Structure 1
Amino acid sequence: MYIAEAFKYRHEFWRYILGTLLVIAGVIIGQIPLAVVIFLSGGMEVMGMEESQIMQVLEPNLNLFLMLLTFAVGLVAVILAAKYLHGQSLRSLTTSRKKIDWGRVFFAFGLVAVLTVLLSLVDYYANPEDYVVNFKPVPFLILTLIAIVMIPLQTSFEEYFFRGYLMQGIGVFSGNRWLPLIITSVVFGGLHFFNPEVTQMGNIIMTYYIGTGFMLGIMTLMDDGLELALGFHAANNLVAVLLVTAEWTAFQSHSILKDISEPTAGWDVLVPIFIIYPALLYIMARKYGWKDWKHKLFGKVEKPETLKLSEEA
Structure 2
Amino acid sequence: MTQPQLAEQLPYHRLARLSVRYRWWRPLLGTLVVAVTYLFALAVLMVLAVAVGSSLGYKEDADGWPEFGPVSGTAVDLLSIAVGIPVLLLTVRWIGRRPAGTVSSVTGRLRWRWLLLCVLTAVPIVALGMGAMLLLPADGEPESQWAGWADFGLALAMLVLLVPLQAAAEEYVFRGWLTQTAGAFLRSPWAALVPQAVLFAAAHGWGTPWGFADLVVFGVAAGWLTWRTGGLEASIALHTVNNLFAFGVSAAVVDGLNSDETAADANWQVVALDVLSIALYTAAVAWWLRRRRLDRTAPAPQPPAQPPAFAPGHPYVHGAPAPHAFGAPVPPPWGRPGAGTAGAPPWPVQPGPAAPAPWAGQPAPGAARPPAASPGAGGDGADRT
Higher relative contact order (CA 8 A, sep 6+): 1
Cα pair 2:16 2:27 within 8 Å, conserved: no
- The CA distance in 2 between the partners of 1:98 and 1:30, in whole Å, is 25
Equivalent in 264, 267, 272 of residue 265 of structure 1:
267
Cα pair 1:95 1:226 within 8 Å, conserved: yes
Give the equivalent residue in structure 2 for 1:160: 172
Q: Does 1:180 align with 2:195?
A: no
Q: Does 1:253 align with 2:254?
A: no
Q: Could you tell me how far 1:153 is from its partner in structure 2?
A: 1.2
3-state SS of paired residue (2:185): helix
Give the equivalent residue in structure 1 for 2:163: 151
Q: Which AA in structure 2 matches 1:187? A: L
3-state SS of paired residue (1:173): coil
Give the equivalent residue in structure 2 for 1:229: 235
Q: Does 1:83 align with 2:93?
A: yes
Q: Could you tell me how far 1:245 is from its partner in structure 2?
A: 5.5
3-state SS of paired residue (1:95): coil
Gaps of 5+ in 1: 48-53, 291-295
Q: Which AA in structure 1 matches 2:234? A: L
Deviations 1:154-192 (A, max 9, x none): 111111111111211210212321211011111111111
Q: Could you tell me how far 1:93 is from its partner in structure 2?
A: 1.4
Give the equivalent residue in structure 2 for 1:171: 183
Q: Does 1:240 align with 2:246?
A: yes
3-state SS of paired residue (1:87): coil
Q: Could you tell me how far 1:24 is from its partner in structure 2?
A: 2.0
Q: Which AA in structure 2 matches 1:253? A: L
Q: Does 1:11 align with 2:22?
A: yes
Cα pair 2:152 2:251 within 8 Å, conserved: no
Please tell me whether Structure 1 or Structure 2 has the larger radius of gyration of its CA atoms: 2
Q: Does 1:73 align with 2:116?
A: no
- The CA distance in 1 between the partners of 2:145 and 2:120, in whole Å, is 25
Q: Could you tell me how far 1:104 is from its partner in structure 2?
A: 2.0
TM-score relative to the length of structure 1: 0.75
Gaps of 5+ in 2: 1-10, 307-385
Residue correspondence of structure 1 range 1-150 to structure 2 within 5 A: 1-9=11-19, 10-32=21-43, 33-34=45-46, 37=50, 41-43=59-61, 45-46=62-63, 57-97=67-107, 99-124=109-134, 127=137, 132-150=144-162
Residues 88, 147 of structure 1: alpha-carbon distance in 2 compared, 3 angstrom cutoff: farther
- The CA distance in 2 between the partners of 1:208 and 1:278, in whole Å, is 12
Q: Could you tell me how far 1:254 is from its partner in structure 2?
A: 8.3
- The CA distance in 2 between the partners of 1:97 and 1:254, in whole Å, is 40
3-state SS of paired residue (1:307): coil
Deviations 1:276-308 (A, max 9, x none): 322222111111129xxxxx9xxxx9x95x635
More displaced stretch, 127-136 vs 8-17: 127-136
Cα pair 2:104 2:176 within 8 Å, conserved: yes
Equivalent in 171, 189, 202 of residue 201 of structure 2:
189
Cα pair 2:101 2:109 within 8 Å, conserved: yes
Q: Which AA in structure 2 matches 1:240? A: A
Cα pair 1:207 1:270 within 8 Å, conserved: no
Give the equivalent residue in structure 2 for 1:206: 212
- The CA distance in 2 between the partners of 1:78 and 1:148, in whole Å, is 23
- The CA distance in 2 between the partners of 1:138 and 1:116, in whole Å, is 25
Q: Which AA in structure 1 matches 2:107? A: R
Cα pair 1:135 1:254 within 8 Å, conserved: no
3-state SS of paired residue (2:188): coil
- The CA distance in 2 between the partners of 1:138 and 1:268, in whole Å, is 29
Q: Could you tell me how far 1:21 is from its partner in structure 2?
A: 2.4
Equivalent in 222, 225, 229 of residue 219 of structure 1:
225
Cα pair 1:205 1:269 within 8 Å, conserved: yes
3-state SS of paired residue (2:204): helix
- The CA distance in 2 between the partners of 1:288 and 1:264, in whole Å, is 32
> Pairwise CA RMSD of aligned residues?
3.5
Q: Could you tell me how far 1:117 is from its partner in structure 2?
A: 2.5
Cα pair 2:155 2:251 within 8 Å, conserved: no
* Structure number having the greater helix percentage: 1
Q: Does 1:283 align with 2:293?
A: no
Q: Which AA in structure 2 matches 1:223? A: T
- Percent identical pairs in the alignment equals 20
Residues 285, 90 of structure 1: alpha-carbon distance in 2 compared, 3 angstrom cutoff: same
How many residue pairs get aligned? The number is 278
